[in-house]
């Protein structure tokens, strides 16, 4: 269909084609990921390329995949969600309550949706800055989680334990959670009209509105999606740990932004997507895993992660400096 | 008159309300000795929050203040300073903290990347370096000078409170009497208009971040003195607290509002509320919830006022 | 305000900038809500609260400020928000195919997956037009569709509008260019200062009558007398070129002189102004201010040397909306000091300038967001008076201000020039440039193609020089 313009160079297409322009960050992350894979398999050999290690990795990374993919939606809509970590904590707290299992799952989902709606309405209709709004809800939700479950413990529903730590066709459950979440979010963003509307809203809510898109609902929906992804991640973690931990989410909250940003999703909205996030999360996972296997002090993780984060966001200069 | 009333930060009304509530329910809360304990406790948060005010008014954010404080603490507690004058450790710690702020500023202005991500990144790096520096086992050789700064008293007044006052005056002068303050508010409100008026937009942002680093490190010195030992996770909750105090003080990402006085009031309100909750027997979770509600309420009220005003 | 469109007819809406044409069109397209009054279509009252309402009512608008999203593809933009009209989700291939078909009807050869932001302004305008006519509508609104188009694109557009007329559609056509209106439209509604003046069939009127209706008074009354004599050169560019400029430029601005830069939309006016002010790196040539070479100094130092920039978008680039008048006016003067300098006390000077410019506000502590557009513009001008600028680079000085404020701004600009300063001004309104300036430059495709005295220049002669190829074919230079 492109016909007469097909002679354009790759660099030109990255600039000129809408799809590639929005995914140019992802392209880079996959290149970094490829180099990392090559490097790790060369230097660590069997220790890295073993089924146990890969299964381990999938199990460990599944929660980060889930929250990062959720965060990607919020970032695409030019928002920001710092509350995902607290939602994970709240979910594990709810799921390990002394309560019949049938009620706990719907309750956890309902709680997450509520948090997402509050975030969305606060940011969109009350016009509070997303960082402030989600910082506030994060604090509230973490408080509630601590009230429900003051210390780690409780018993996870058996269904979740099976779903999170079982195996199917020789592959660990985490692997399937990852595939399902990735496939679903790629389909939603790249295969539905919601996806196009999300990109439009993230780029310029006013123009989107003029085009007949209900930009406020789209923006609110991203917070709900992100909270629900966090709840699912919480459910997975609960199953994997087979008990609850009210502080389990804290680190994941920030890592979710890291994963999306490393994958080339811009914090200013409208550029990037779940494909890049997959690469971003894998980069984080391989970094931790590689350092572990190579017996390098885990403290270096922090340094590398921070440096990579800064490198990732510095690739695309914005017009203004600041937030 | 109406305008000056409108310009009072949310914290002002909050403090009055909390004061009245305390007077009726917990009168001993308002006694001078107790207030002095509050003052000592508030000083370190107060100084960090003053630093955060510069960047928030400049439409930026520093999420690395917690890591900064922890790093300062690890330096002060390290045994390597035992042979030196206690000043040396303090100067080195302050220089390190200031450098962190400066590095944030350079990254934010040169890379044009989001300050949120950049300062998250530097926070991770500093945390890692701190772990590597101490091997995960922080020392406990905090000098008496630092302890005196954090815990000591001059008469009835805590030294930390006096230090806080000094920093508040310095912050007030910077924000309201120096060109830098004008630049911060202007560039925070509209960086493009600032550029086209000939303001040194990038140097202003660099200066705000550097100041924030210096203030955070100074808060870290007081906190280290108060705690008295090295601790890996010191200051983690200062990120949230400092932002809360700034918002209560009326500054919200640009917008020309807020300042030294507002942030001092904001800090006072935050610390008072948290302590009052303790007196009422509310635990850590309840305080978190309260803090979240207060941030949301202050931000929403401020935003509605702006839209109508 | 009243406006009636008939099927199969093209109805022109004309008026000066700020007469309210675009606002009226935005009301019809549901973007702005009317304060009062009714909109009736086919005998039914319409309530247009949302752009979707207008779309459902069969009204399609081609916006002046494009409604396109630069990071989406052409195809995505064309079908944005109306995927539902088609009844089923489209596959990528179907989307591409339908887009190509729609584009080819307007003789556009653009790949549907191209990013709109990577297209030229003219192509973007054509995509905007394609998007507008793709809609299944009975009323089409064209808001200044030709401002960014080359002449062959204008021909394509006119053929399209004729076709729509033949199909019995109603068309509202907003334009500055009267020649177009007289070839295309059946009726003309004239607006002035937000109000209806009259509606006449095109056949029963002529250009002079229409202009008189738009202006409502002899144009000369709006403007001050031109400079009696021009002093020595203040600002001189010799082959000067910024990174974003397509061509090097030679120009001078003399003492007491107001020089206008005329041209079609996006011909490099803004790039020129920003480069002269130092916000774009120099690629070549030289620039002198009062005989001093300022070619290689950065924007801040050029400002300190006496250059002032009044940016086109007052709200985005000019004002600190949440700060007060004093902070806004003093910013450029305060900026001359270092970061740690004490703020100078400028209260008296600020009040002085507020009085001189007749800024309508209780005091200097009034937030600028409380001021009208005209008064806000005076605050930006006041900033440069306060900073003692000698050369003002003024982009669109009267955009979005009412007629009274326009007159006031013309007066202030002239007064500023008379005090031994110079002004370089860009504007979309040719009448404004002719009335305000002493000398006019015409810019086309980044280069200055004509340099004529404003006295005696006509819109027609300027437009001839500004168009890549004039409407009647030949390439004409203005006399």
Structure tokens at C287: 């620039």
Last residue of a domain, one of C215, C232, C258: C215
Instruction: Using only the alpha carbons of chain C, give its radius of gyration.
Output: 24
DSSP assignment of C386-436, as one string? HTT-SEEEEESTTTT--HHHHHHHHHHHHHHHHTT-EEEEE-S-HHHHHHH
Q: Which residue of C has its CA nearest to B188?
A: C320
Residue numbers of the domain that contains C313: 221-466
- Region for residue C281 given its phi and psi (left: phi exceeds 0; alpha: psi -120 to 50; beta: otherwise): beta
Residues C182, C281 share a domain: no
DSSP code at position B114: B
Residue C479 belongs to a domain: no
Residue with tokens 């549901």: C30
Instruction: Give residue-wise pLDDT tens across range C81-98.
Output: 776 555 455 677 788 888
Q: Which residue of C has its CA nearest to B180?
A: C339
Residues B65, B242 contacting (CB under 8 angstroms): yes
DSSP code at position C264: S
Mean pLDDT of C118-134: 86
pLDDT computed for residue C398 by the predictor: 84
Q: What is the ipTM of this complex?
A: 0.87
Structure tokens at C202: 């095109």
Mean pLDDT of all residues in chain C?
85
Residues C202, C68 share a domain: yes
Q: Which residue of C has its CA nearest to B196?
A: C309
Residues A187, A75 contacting (CB under 8 angstroms): no
**Residue C259 maps to which CATH number?**
3.40.50.300
pLDDT computed for residue C85 by the predictor: 52
Residue C197 belongs to a domain: yes
Question: What residues in B contact C311, CB-CB < 8 Å?
Answer: 192-193, 196
Asked if C319's CB is within 8 angstroms of B177's CB, the reply is no
How does A139-157 read in b/e, with b if 16+ C-beta sit within 10 Å? bbbbbbbbbbbeeeebebb
- Which of C327, C341, C387 lies closest to B179 in CB terms? C341
Mean pLDDT of C187-192: 86
Q: Does B200 touch chain C (CB under 8 A)?
A: yes
pLDDT confidence of C293, banded at 50, 70, 90?
very high
Residue C474 belongs to a domain: no
Q: For testing the chain B interface, which of A25, A87, A93, A132 should be mutated: the one with the most B CBs within 10 Å?
A: A132
Residues B266, B248 contacting (CB under 8 angstroms): yes
HSE value, Cβ hemisphere, 13 Å, CA-based, for C245: 29
pLDDT computed for residue C316 by the predictor: 87
Residues C334, C310 share a domain: yes
**Nearest by Cα to C328 from C305, C357, C298, C302:** C357
Q: Which residue of A has its CA nearest to C91?
A: A191
Residues C234, C167 share a domain: no
For residue C2, pLDDT over 80 is answered with no
Mean pLDDT of all residues in chain B?
89
pLDDT computed for residue C84 by the predictor: 57
How does C135-149 read in b/e, with b if 16+ C-beta sit within 10 Å? bebbbbbbbbbbbbb
pLDDT confidence of B193, banded at 50, 70, 90?
very high
**Nearest by Cα to C38 from C26, C47, C50:** C47
Instruction: Give residue-wise pLDDT tens across range B117-127.
Output: 899 899 999 99
**Nearest by Cα to A310 from B239, B71, B110:** B110
**pLDDT > 90: percent of chain C:** 31
Q: Give the C-alpha separation, C376 to C405, whole Å.
A: 10
Last residue of a domain, one of C193, C215, C237: C215
Residues C199, C226 share a domain: no
Residues C157, C228 share a domain: no
Q: For chain B, what's the residue count?
A: 309
HSE value, Cβ hemisphere, 13 Å, CA-based, for A258: 27
Q: Give the C-alpha separation, C25 to C287, whole Å.
A: 43
pLDDT confidence of C219, banded at 50, 70, 90?
low
DSSP code at position A265: -
Q: Which residues contact C100 (CB under 8 A, 6 or more apart)?
A: A1, C112
Q: Give the C-alpha separation, B126 to B97, whole Å.
A: 10
Residue C127 belongs to a domain: yes
Residues C337, C225 share a domain: yes
Residues C237, C190 share a domain: no
Q: Give the C-alpha separation, B107 to B121, whole Å.
A: 10
Asked if B179's CB is within 8 angstroms of C343's CB, the reply is yes
Residue C238 belongs to a domain: yes
Residue C1 belongs to a domain: no
Structural domains in chain C (count): 2
pLDDT per position in chain A (323 positions), as tens?
344 445 667 777 777 888 888 888 888 889 889 998 898 888 888 888 888 888 888 888 999 999 999 999 999 999 999 999 999 999 999 998 878 888 888 999 999 999 999 999 999 999 888 988 998 999 999 999 999 988 888 888 888 888 888 778 877 888 889 999 999 999 999 888 889 899 999 988 888 988 888 899 999 999 999 999 999 999 999 988 888 888 888 888 888 988 898 888 888 888 899 999 999 999 988 888 888 888 887 788 888 888 888 887 777 667 667 67
- Which of the two residues, C349 and C469, has the higher pLDDT score? C349
Instruction: Give residue-wise pLDDT tens across range B157-170.
Output: 999 999 999 999 99
Residues C390, C436 share a domain: yes
Q: A10-14, A241-245, C121-125, C189-193: which range is least confident on average?
A: A10-14
Q: Where are the beta strands (DSSP E) in A61-127?
A: none
Q: For testing the chain C interface, which of B6, B171, B196 should be mutated: the one with the most C CBs within 10 Å?
A: B196
Structure tokens at C348: 């008296």
Question: What residues in B contact A135, CB-CB < 8 Å?
Answer: 240, 243, 292, 295
Residues C232, C154 share a domain: no
Residues C305, C184 share a domain: no
Mean pLDDT of C436-453: 93
Asked if A310's CB is within 8 angstroms of B129's CB, the reply is no
Last residue of a domain, one of C182, C215, C248: C215
List of domains in chain B: 40-301 (1.10.3470)
Distance from CA of A132 to the nearest CA of B (A): 7
Residues C210, C249 contacting (CB under 8 angstroms): no
Mean pLDDT of C44-71: 84
Asked if B136's CB is within 8 angstroms of A323's CB, the reply is no
Instruction: Give residue-wise pLDDT tens across range C170-186.
Output: 999 988 777 888 888 98
Rounded to the nearest angstrom, the gap between the alpha carbon of residue C349 and the centroid of all alpha carbons in its chain is: 33
Residue with tokens 């002529």: C206
Residues A167, A59 contacting (CB under 8 angstroms): no
Asked if B112's CB is within 8 angstroms of A317's CB, the reply is yes
pLDDT computed for residue B234 by the predictor: 86
Residues C450, C386 share a domain: yes
Structure tokens at C344: 């100078």
Asked if B196's CB is within 8 angstroms of C339's CB, the reply is no
Residue C423 belongs to a domain: yes
Q: Which residue of A has its CA nearest to C119?
A: A16
Asked if C114's CB is within 8 angstroms of A18's CB, the reply is yes
Residue C2 belongs to a domain: no
List of domains in chain A: 64-313 (1.10.3470)
Asked if C319's CB is within 8 angstroms of B195's CB, the reply is no
């Amino acid at each position: 269909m492109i016909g007469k313009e097909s002679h354009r160079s790759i660099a030109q297409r990255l600039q000129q084609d809408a799809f590639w322009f929005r995914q140019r960050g992802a392209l880079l992350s996959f290149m970094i990921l490829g180099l990392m894979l090559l490097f790790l398999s060369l230097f660590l050999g069997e220790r890295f390329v073993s089924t146990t290690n890969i299964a381990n990795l999938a199990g460990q990374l599944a929660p980060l995949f889930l929250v990062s993919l959720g965060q990607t939606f919020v970032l695409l809509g030019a928002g920001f969600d710092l509350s995902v970590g607290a939602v994970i904590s709240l979910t594990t707290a709810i799921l390990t309550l002394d309560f019949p299992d049938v009620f706990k799952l719907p309750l956890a989902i309902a709680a997450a949706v509520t948090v997402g709606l509050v975030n969305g309405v606060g940011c969109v209709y009350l016009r509070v800055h997303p960082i402030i709004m989600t910082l506030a809800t994060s604090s509230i939700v973490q408080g509630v989680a601590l009230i429900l479950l003051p210390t780690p413990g409780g018993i996870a529903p058996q269904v979740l334990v099976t779903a999170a730590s079982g195996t199917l066709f020789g592959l660990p459950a985490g692997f399937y959670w990852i595939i399902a979440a990735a496939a679903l979010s790629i389909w939603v963003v790249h295969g539905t009209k919601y996806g196009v509307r999300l990109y439009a809203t993230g780029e310029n809510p006013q123009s989107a509105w003029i085009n007949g898109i209900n930009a406020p609902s789209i923006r609110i929906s991203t917070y709900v999606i992100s909270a629900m992804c966090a709840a699912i991640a919480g459910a997975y973690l609960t199953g994997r740990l087979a008990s609850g931990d009210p502080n389990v989410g804290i680190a994941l909250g920030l890592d979710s932004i890291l994963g999306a940003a490393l994958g080339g999703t811009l914090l200013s909205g409208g550029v990037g997507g779940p494909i890049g996030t997959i690469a971003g999360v894998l980069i984080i996972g391989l970094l931790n895993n590689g350092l572990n296997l190579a017996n390098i002090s885990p403290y270096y993780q922090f340094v590398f992660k921070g440096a990579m984060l800064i490198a990732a966001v510095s690739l695309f200069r914005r017009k203004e400096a600041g937030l | 008159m109406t305008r000056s009333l409108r310009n009072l930060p949310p914290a002002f009304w909050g403090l009055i309300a909390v004061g009245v509530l305390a007077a009726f329910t917990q009168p001993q809360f308002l006694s001078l000795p107790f207030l002095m304990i509050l003052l000592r406790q508030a000083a370190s948060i107060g100084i960090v929050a003053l630093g955060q005010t510069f960047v928030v008014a400049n439409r930026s954010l520093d999420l690395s203040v917690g890591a900064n404080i922890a790093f300062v603490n690890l330096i002060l507690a390290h045994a390597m300073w035992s042979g030196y004058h206690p000043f040396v450790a303090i100067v080195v710690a302050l220089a390190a903290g200031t450098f962190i702020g400066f590095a944030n500023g350079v990254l934010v202005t040169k890379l044009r990347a989001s300050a949120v991500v950049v300062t998250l990144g530097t926070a991770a790096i500093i945390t890692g370096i701190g772990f590597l520096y101490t091997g995960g086992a922080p020392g406990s050789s905090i000098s008496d000078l630092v302890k005196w700064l954090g815990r000591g008293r001059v008469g009835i007044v805590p030294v930390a409170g006096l230090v806080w006052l000094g920093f508040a005056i310095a912050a007030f002068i910077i924000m309201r009497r120096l060109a830098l303050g004008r630049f911060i508010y202007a560039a925070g409100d509209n960086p493009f208009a600032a550029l086209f008026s000939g303001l040194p937009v990038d140097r202003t942002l660099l200066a705000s971040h550097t100041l924030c680093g210096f203030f955070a490190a100074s808060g870290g010195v007081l906190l280290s003195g108060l705690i008295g030992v090295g601790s890996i996770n010191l200051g983690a909750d200062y990120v949230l607290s400092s932002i809360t105090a700034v918002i209560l003080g009326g500054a919200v990402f640009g917008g020309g509002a807020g300042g030294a006085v507002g942030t001092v009031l904001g800090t006072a309100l935050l610390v008072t509320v948290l302590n009052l909750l303790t007196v009422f027997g509310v635990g850590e979770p309840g305080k978190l919830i309260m803090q979240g509600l207060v941030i949301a309420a202050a931000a929403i009220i401020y935003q509605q006022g702006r839209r109508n005003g | 305000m009243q406006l009636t469109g008939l099927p199969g007819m093209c109805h022109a809406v004309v008026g000066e900038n700020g007469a309210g044409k675009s606002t009226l069109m935005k009301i019809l397209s549901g973007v702005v809500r009317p304060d009062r009054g009714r909109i009736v279509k086919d005998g039914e009252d319409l309530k247009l609260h949302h752009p979707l309402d207008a779309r459902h009512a069969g009204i399609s608008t081609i916006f002046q400020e494009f409604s396109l999203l630069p990071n989406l593809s052409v195809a995505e933009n064309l079908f944005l928000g109306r995927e539902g009209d088609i009844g089923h989700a489209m596959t990528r291939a179907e989307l591409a195919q339908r887009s190509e078909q729609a584009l080819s009807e307007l003789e556009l050869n653009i790949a549907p997956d191209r990013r709109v932001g990577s297209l030229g302004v003219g192509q973007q305008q054509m995509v905007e037009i394609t998007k507008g006519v793709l809609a299944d509508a009975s009323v089409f609104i064209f808001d200044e569709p030709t401002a960014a188009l080359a002449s062959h694109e204008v021909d394509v557009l006119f053929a399209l509008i004729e076709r729509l007329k033949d199909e019995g559609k109603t068309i509202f056509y907003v334009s500055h260019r009267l020649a177009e209106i007289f070839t295309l439209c059946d009726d003309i509604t004239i607006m002035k200062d937000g109000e209806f003046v009259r509606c006449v069939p095109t056949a029963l009127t002529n250009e002079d009558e229409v202009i008189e209706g738009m202006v409502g008074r002899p144009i000369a009354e709006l403007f001050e007398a031109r400079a009696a004599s021009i002093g020595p050169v203040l600002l001189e560019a010799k082959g000067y070129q910024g990174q974003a400029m397509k061509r090097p430029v030679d120009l001078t601005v003399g003492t007491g002189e107001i020089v206008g830069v005329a041209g079609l939309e996006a011909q490099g006016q803004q790039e020129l102004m920003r480069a002269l002010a130092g916000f774009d790196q120099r690629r070549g040539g030289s620039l002198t201010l009062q005989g001093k070479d300022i070619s290689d100094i950065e924007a801040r130092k050029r400002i300190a040397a006496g250059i002032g920039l009044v940016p086109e978008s007052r709200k985005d680039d000019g004002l600190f909306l949440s700060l007060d008048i004093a902070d806004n006016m003093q910013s450029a003067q305060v900026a001359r000091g270092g970061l740690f300098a004490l703020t100078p006390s400028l209260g008296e000077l600020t009040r002085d300038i507020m009085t001189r410019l007749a800024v309508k506000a209780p005091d200097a502590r009034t937030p600028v967001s409380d001021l009208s557009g005209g008064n806000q513009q005076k605050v930006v001008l006041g900033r440069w008076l306060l900073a003692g600028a000698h050369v003002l680079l003024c982009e669109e000085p009267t955009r979005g201000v009412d007629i009274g404020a326009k007159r006031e701004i013309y007066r202030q600009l002239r007064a500023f020039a008379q005090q031994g300063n110079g002004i370089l001004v860009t504007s979309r309104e040719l009448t404004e440039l002719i009335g305000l300036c002493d000398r006019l430059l015409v810019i086309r495709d980044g280069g200055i193609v004509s340099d004529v005295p404003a006295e005696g220049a006509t819109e027609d002669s300027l437009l001839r020089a500004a168009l890549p190829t004039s409407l009647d074919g030949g390439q004409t230079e203005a006399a």
